Structure 1
Amino acid sequence: GGSGGGRRGEEGEGEVEREVKKNEEEKIMSQINSKPNTFLLQIDPKKIATMMTGYHQQLFNQTTMSEIYNWGKGQQTPNLTCLCDSFNITSNWVASTILQAILRKNFADVFKHLVRVASKLYKLNNFLGCFAVTVGLTHSSVTRLSKLYQDERPVESQTRLLTYQGLVAPVNNNLPYRRILKGTEP
């Protein structure tokens, strides 16, 4: 009927907005990756975190309960899929940025900067973004190579990263993460 057509139009607009946001995110990531020594370090971690949070919030707000239900049934879930894709894009971007920094000899600066991004995401209650950055910083290829640079990691950054790793760890059915969520204001 008539109301179904309007709903499809709204969903179509949401898809267009998602695609625009995704393209903006990919453009920014492309700029960062093209000049990892200069561009990334020039962007305030709070600005990166705020942009990521806005994108994640938009996707989350567009997610319906039926979409969450459909996820469990193996049906299409465009908003949840975009959230998952964003997590993977971010964690892979962080890992590749750290690996590039090792090659370009500015590992400590980039490591510290990305931990600050994770910290800002955490303070914004964007746990998806915080966890994505943390997973990228602790990616197996990064940890293998970064052992060579263990002494270059600022102690404060290492301590923060360990805190976030504890939240990401799937121990006791994600108990640390669930505790944080319970005490978080929406």
Structure 2
Amino acid sequence: MSSWKIFFSPIPSSSLITNCAQLEGIFTCSFFLSNQFPIEIKGKNPGHIVWSLTCMSAITRTPKPETVRTMETLSSRKRNVNQGRQLLSGCGNLYIMIWETTVTKVYCADHTYTTIRLPINSTVGDIVLSARDKLCLGHDPVLCEVKSNGERVLFREKDRCIMMSLSLNGRLFIAPREHLDALTPVPEQEGPNSSTMHVIEVMSTKELATQITHYDWELFMAVHEQEMLNKVFGPTVFQEGVAANLEQFLRRFDQLQYWVVTEMVLLNNVGKRVQLLRKFIKLAQHCKELNNFHAFFAITMGLGHLAVSRLSQTWEKLPGKVKKMFSEFETVMEPVRNHRSYRLAVSKLTSPIIPFMPLLIKDMTFTNEGNKTYYDNMVNFEKMHMIAQTLRTVRFCRRNHLEPESPETMK
């Protein structure tokens, strides 16, 4: 009988065996797969074991993944939720490597700023140290995010990868702790003054949905399952674990949602607003047909935002057929019975699928927080399997690659 040993490694599964020696941990378990091969898993903690359980199918049944090229630095990809053309700009590969550097502005209370270049996985302490020296600040300043509404979010010194987790219109500020109340948003955070409908209306709705879907797919493919574990278990389990690609994918959801809201409220002409509302509803429909539930949820939630839903004159002039279509969208999105409508819809599909990622993160978080990790000093493997099942769902969604549509089919 053949015997395999699988050791956990926080890197892609293709490198599991070559890196096992230095990563051997303290938790060990042995069991049999359906093919009767004994499997031994070792990990430094239960979070590692979850990842091992998820990787087993990749080692036993799937070929070695292709090498992923690194992404160009984020500084060359400025994205603005308020600009339609920038929202749709794509690229060949969006995979972020943690050692890549990014250029970030750090502001003072008087709105002067310095520009720093640091690796994406830098800690808040690294950012403070670099900015403090350039701005000649005193000892022990703190770093915080100031949002466009004036809200302040204070970061901890050991927080990592915060450049990727800033809100859409947030800015980094550095100041002494006693001066935090004096921090105000910079003028550029006030938002746009005009709509970009002229960019949207020149593209067919199907072409627009296709372009959005391909961009979302690249972001989704860049997310490694390990990043989801980093997000859910946090630094208590993975001290240096980051989720840069996952944060970028989640940020994309907010970009799409508030892009819809922004475009709707910036139009003053009711007739044009009705036209744009109709286009957005059809855009959501095409995204759903392309199995892009990430964009489907974002667009539909944008149209359901209070700032848009209160435009009563616009909704009244919408054709009844389109209103009915939007009502069906809301049914799919209902959170009743743990999003049963959405889960049933997805269960009937085949990959490629771009899932509603916030729900997957929520599933893993509830499983982690609602179940004990240990019972009588033994690992709760039922909990580990539940979390691993969510990761397998992600793997199923991208089992098949998204094929680009020809220009003729998009007309």
User: Do both share a fold (TM > 0.5)?
Assistant: yes
Partner of 1:112: 278
**Structure-2 residue corresponding to 1:39:** 199
- 1:50 aligned partner: 210
In the TM superposition, what is the alpha-carbon distance from 1:163 to its structure 2 partner?
1.2
Deviation at 1:169, TM superposition (A): 1.9
* Structure ranking higher in strand proportion: 2
Q: Percent identity at matched positions?
A: 21
CA distance in 1, matches of 2:337, 2:265: 32
Q: Partner residue of 2:222?
A: 62
1:143 matched to which residue of 2?
309
Q: How does 1:62-101 map to 2 (within 5 A)?
A: 62-74=222-234, 75-101=241-267
State the alpha-carbon separation in 2 of the partners of residues 66 and 128 from structure 1.
20
Q: 2:290 aligns with which of 120, 124, 131?
A: 124
Q: Which residue identity does 1:77 align to in structure 2? A: A
Deviation string for 1:138-186 (max 9, x for gaps)? 1011111x22333211212211111111122211101111001100110
Q: Distance in 2 between matches of 1:120 and 1:18?
A: 29
Distance 1:24 1:92, change over 3 A: closer
Residue in 1 that maps onto 2:336: 171
Runs of 4 or more consecutive aligned structure 1 residues displaced over 6 Å after TM superposition: 17-22
C-alpha distance in structure 2 between counterparts of 1:27 and 1:150, whole Å:
23
**Whole-Å Cα distance in 2 between the matches of residues 58 and 22 of structure 1?**
17
Residue 55 of structure 1 deviates from its aligned partner by: 1.3
| Structure of greater Rg | 2
Residue type of the partner of 1:98? M
State the distance in 1 between where 2:75 and 2:347 align: 32
What is the aligned partner in structure 1 of residue 323 from structure 2? 158
Where does structure 1 lack aligned partners over 5 or more consecutive residues? Answer: none
Deviation at 1:29, TM superposition (A): 4.6
Q: CA deviation at 1:44?
A: 0.9
Select the structure with the greater relative contact order (CA < 8 A; seq sep ≥ 6). 1
CA shift for structure 1 position 37: 4.1
Q: Which residue identity does 2:230 align to in structure 1?
A: N
Q: Could you tell me whether the CA contact under 8 Å between 2:265 and 2:308 is conserved in 1? A: yes
| Deviation (angstroms), 1:114 | 0.7
Q: How far has the Cα of 1:76 moved from its partner?
A: 2.4
In structure 2, how many angstroms separate the alpha carbons of the residues matched to 1:137 and 1:62? 28
Give aligned pairs, total: 175
- 2:256 alignment partner AA: T
When normalised by structure 1's length, the TM-score is: 0.81
Code of the residue aligned with 1:132 in structure 2: it is A
Question: What displacement does 1:60 show?
Answer: 1.4
Gaps of 5+ in 2: 1-10, 16-66, 89-191, 235-240, 352-411
Assess if the C-alpha contact under 8 Å between 2:195 and 2:263 holds in 1: no
Compared CA separation, residues 19 and 115, structure 1 to 2 (3 A): farther
Shift of 1:73: 1.6
Letter in 2 for 1:104: N
Equivalents in 2 of 1:50, 1:21: separation in Å?
Answer: 21
Which one has the bigger helix percentage?
Answer: 1
Deviation at 1:42, TM superposition (A): 1.7
Look up the equivalent residue of 2:231 and give its one-letter code: W
Q: Which residue of the partner structure matches residue 133 of structure 1?
A: 299
Alpha carbons 1:45, 1:116 under 8 Å: kept: yes
Contact 1:94/1:133 (<8 A) preserved? yes
